[in-house]
Structure 1
Amino acid sequence: MEPLIHGILLAFGLILPLGVQNIFIFNQGAIHRKFTKALPAVITAGVCDTILIYLAVAGVSVIVFNFEWLKMLLFSAGFFFLAYMGLVIWKNKPEVRTNQEESRFSPRRQIVFAASVSLLNPHAILDTIGVIGTSSLAYTGYGKWVFTAACIGVSWLWFISLAVFGKKLGQINGNGKFLIRINQISAIIIWMMAIYMGYQLFSFFF
């Protein structure tokens, strides 16, 4: 019972803050007419988190934390991708009319972006590997896998809930202006995270 509760509380603590991954999933729920249209993003984010959590428990944290160049590579890739992603979301003009489906992200594009914000986000990787990986050391055998399953379960539940909540809020305004504002706010937050990531990358050299 202890590994289950520990895993649930820890996973919620890590996933609740407003991060790029959360913003993207919420955004896709808001701009699509049907929840099922946002499933590619939800499923991809869930699968990526599952992989990261499994690797964290498997002990990859030892590799990541022992190589400074790997951290620099993660921050560099994350900075440039977030800057690009913010621009794409800012320029995207979602419409609510059925004849404007082309303005929304295609399933393929959702998968690429969701995978990128999950796997090219140094903070998410370091948090997952550092916190979950380290916490899992308290358990062995069955307890460790219960802890792992709890973390993964919370991750999937959270992404589904985010997309559903986004869809409900996206229905508030029928002329599309509300969705455009959501995009703009999302882009600004993503750019702020890119700047912060760039600052941390800069600190590696000075």
Structure 2
Amino acid sequence: MFIAIVHGIVLAFGLILPLGAQNVFVFQQGALQPRLYQALPVVITAALCDTLLIALAVIGVSVVVFTIPMLQMCLYLIGFCFLVYMGWSVWNTSSSTDAKEQREFMPARKQILFACSVSLLNPHAILDTIGVIGTNSLQYNGVEKLAFTLACIIVSWLWFIGLALLGKMLGKLDTNGKWMNRINKASAVMIWLVSLYIAYQLVV
């Protein structure tokens, strides 16, 4: 069982470490929200979405999505449209000191909606979860498979909590908002790149 746990931890870190739309959005909200607890909706939503994808990958249900062409096309199209809008919204977020009084922080409902979009409407991320975690889980049974799955899920939760904390630390250091404005632009570009990848998958 120890090997299964270590295996799950290593795989989960390998999948979650690369910079992606989900990671930059959690980091951004951690930095922008006036209190850390106000970023909890995005942290919890992202972690729950990953938990769902990991569980579905391990039991093999998520593979069904990519065996039905019409369902796959709908997922790609919805994901593309929503990520384009999300990128535009993030791009126009201001973090300057002058705008601090007028700035409206993203409410919990919008955080949840956006977090779901970057987590569940990214076919590339879903395929990674199925291909890597789902495939590797096949070598385990019973308690070992459960330990492997829980290890992956725990890494995901700890990672998103850590990202929000890191974002909050940067937000406190960046008193004039200069670096956060750059992060917002970089986040938007990252999200648009994901949407372009999805558009490419639609036409090929």
**What is the TM-score normalised by the length of structure 1?**
0.91
TM-fit CA distance, 1:196:
1.9
* Residue identity opposite 1:3 in structure 2: A
Runs of 4+ that moved beyond 6 A: none
Describe how 1:95-110 pairs up with structure 2 within 5 A: 95=96, 100=101, 102-110=103-111
- In the alignment, does 2:80 pair up with 1:79? yes
Corresponding residue of 1:43:
44
Change (3 A) 1:96 1:73: same
Task: Note the C-alpha offset of 1:171.
Answer: 1.9
Cα distance in 1 for partners of 2:150, 2:21 equals 23
Instruction: Tell me the distance in 1 between the aligned counterparts of 2:98 and 2:139.
Output: 52
Which residue in the other structure is 2:14 paired with?
13
Equivalent residue letter for 2:22: Q
The C-alpha deviation readout for 1:18-66, integer Å capped at 9, x for no partner, is 1110010011011123211111100111111111111111111441342
| 1:196 partnered with 2:193 | no
1:177 and 2:181 are equivalent in the alignment: no
| Aligned equivalent of 2:158 | 157
Given that 2:91 and 2:184 are in contact with CA atoms closer than 8 Å, whether structure 1 keeps it comes out as yes
Give the total of aligned pairs.
203
CA contact (8 A) 1:45 1:114 kept: yes
In structure 2, how many angstroms separate the alpha carbons of the residues matched to 1:179 and 1:32? 12
Q: In structure 1, what is the Cα distance between the partners aligned to 2:36 and 2:98?
A: 16
Percentage of identical aligned residues: 56
- RMSD between aligned residues: 1.8
Distance 1:57 1:130, change over 3 A: same
Mapped to 1, the partners of 2:13 and 2:91 lie a distance apart of 29
Residue correspondence of structure 1 range 78-157 to structure 2 within 5 A? 78-95=79-96, 100=101, 102-157=103-158
Aligned partners of 1:98 and 1:195: how far apart in 2? 31
TM-score (norm 2): 0.92
CA displacement at 1:68 relative to structure 2: 2.8
1:98, distance to aligned residue in structure 2 (A): 11
Is residue 23 of structure 2 the alignment partner of residue 27 of structure 1? no
Per the TM alignment, residue 198 of structure 1 is displaced from its structure 2 partner at its CA by 0.9
SS at match of 2:173: coil
